[in-house]
Amino acid sequence: MIRSGGRAVVRRVGRLVVAVVRRARRLHPLAFFALLSLTVVFAAASAEWPRHVPAAALVVPLVLAGLVLGFRQLVVLTLLTMAIASFVLVSRAQPAPTTGFVLVLGAIGWIIIAGAKVRNQLGVPGTRGESMLMELRDTLTAQGELPPLPTGWRAEVAIQSAGKSKFSGDFVVSTERDNTLEVALVDVSGKGVDAGTRALLLSGAFGGLLGVVPVEDFLPAANRYLRRQGWEDDFATVVHVAVDLRTGGFCVRTAGHPPAIQFDAWSGRWGTRDADGPLLGLMEAPDFTPNHGLLKPGDALFLYSDGMVETPRRDIGRGTDRLAGHAERLVAQGFQGGAAMLVAAAGGPGDDSAIVIIHRLAHS
């Protein structure tokens, strides 16, 4: 009971601090004068009780200013803090290392100002830039969630970014309409944070196209959009599948992406669903050949990125066999929770990894 009560207090204090910081961002002049007043109070206390209040306490308002103030106000407060610190140290009865302390204080202020200058160029003072990145990350994660499916079907998705980063060059967009499930697994060139910004841009665009344009027009429309961006060396690979949830019939199209894998529950065999198509963004009007199939009760379809099957020492063919071997162990449990297990077991640590499992249950 004591531990739970302590955690509740910590959460309340955390929410209070976040609320205060948010309000301070909106009231920059008030925050400036509040921090300047705090600096004066610390300076006066340090001058009156030098043994109990060290002059280093003046760093605290400066660090807080870097979180809530704009660039110009931060520069002014830094200069005032250095002047006040010099006055406090000089006015003491006992001599103190004035020059060294002021230089260290100035170095800290310069570091804080340098970070604020970058944020000022984006027009997001304080920690608002980090908050925007977190919101974008949450948006990308939310778009990757699969829609609820009717009885007799289950679908899972798992994504693991390179280096355990929160941003990934692999993302999933999906929709379900008129008893047709559409899923697109996209792999943007690059990995981790470097590909995260392009993934955020394309996820919104591809998510808007999915379910709006006809199934056969999704990849051509996505290719035209990517061509309009004018990216010189950047591209994307996609595997797109549309599944009829009434009959189990499906159609797979790929754009430079590894083929889908189908598990046949009746024979216990694994097979690839090859579909030819070039990388998105390289050609003006490419053709994407479809591959049609049928998911019977108990069958499953796997969509995955090259990070799941390809490494510098292993080609895609051997990696696909290895992935099927890992997935074979999940047949007995009906592939439930299999997406996360496969990413953890087969995903490459140096590349983004993603997998989607669409399973038609044997017993509805």
Could you report the per-residue pLDDT of 139-172, keeping only the tens digit for each? 666 767 888 899 999 999 988 877 666 667 788 8
Q: Are 306 and 258 in contact (CB under 8 A)?
A: yes
Give the pLDDT score at 1: 43
Give the pLDDT score at 153: 93
Of the ranges 23-27, 42-46, 222-226, the best mean pLDDT one: 222-226
Give the pLDDT score at 11: 62
Per cent of the chain over pLDDT 90 is 16
Q: How distant is the alpha carbon of residue 5 from its chain centre?
A: 32
Q: Is 97 helix (H, G, I), strand (E, B) or coil?
A: coil
Q: Is the alpha carbon torsion for 130, 133, 139, 142 positive or negative?
A: negative
The pair of three-digit structure tokens given for residue 197, joined into one six-digit string? 């910004």
Where in the chain are the domains? 2-126, 144-360
Q: Rounded to whole angstroms, how far apart are CA atoms 33 and 148?
A: 52
Interacting residues of 317 by C-beta distance below 8 A, sequence separation 6+? none
Mean pLDDT of 216-235: 83
Q: What is the 3-state secondary structure (H, E, C) of 60-85?
A: HHHHHHHHHCCHHHHHHHHHHHHHHH
Mean pLDDT of 12-16: 61
Triad 155, 159, 160: Cα angle to 5°: 150
Mean pLDDT of 248-275: 89
Q: Rounded to whole angstroms, how far apart are CA atoms 161 and 192?
A: 6
Across the chain, mean pLDDT equals 79
CA-closest candidate to residue 177, choices 252, 243, 254? 243
End-to-end CA distance of the chain: 43
pLDDT over 80 (residue 226): yes
- 331 by Cβ neighbours in 10 Å (0-12 / 13-18 / 19+) ranks as middle
Q: Give the residue carrying structure tokens 């925050």.
A: 31
Which of the pair, 293 or 201, is modelled with greater confidence?
A: 293
Taking CA atoms, 169 is separated from 51, 208, 223, 239, in Å, by 54, 18, 17, 14
Mean pLDDT of 234-247: 90
Q: Rounded to whole angstroms, how far apart are CA atoms 169 and 331?
A: 29
Give the pLDDT score at 16: 59
Give the pLDDT score at 57: 80
Q: How confident is the model at residue 87 (pLDDT cuts 50, 70, 90)?
A: confident
Q: What's the CATH number of domain 144-360, 3.40.50.620, 3.60.40.10, 3.40.50.280, 3.40.190.10?
A: 3.60.40.10
Question: What is the amino acid identity at position 277?
Answer: G
Mean pLDDT of 53-73: 78
Reported pTM: 0.69
CA-closest candidate to residue 189, choices 299, 305, 298? 305
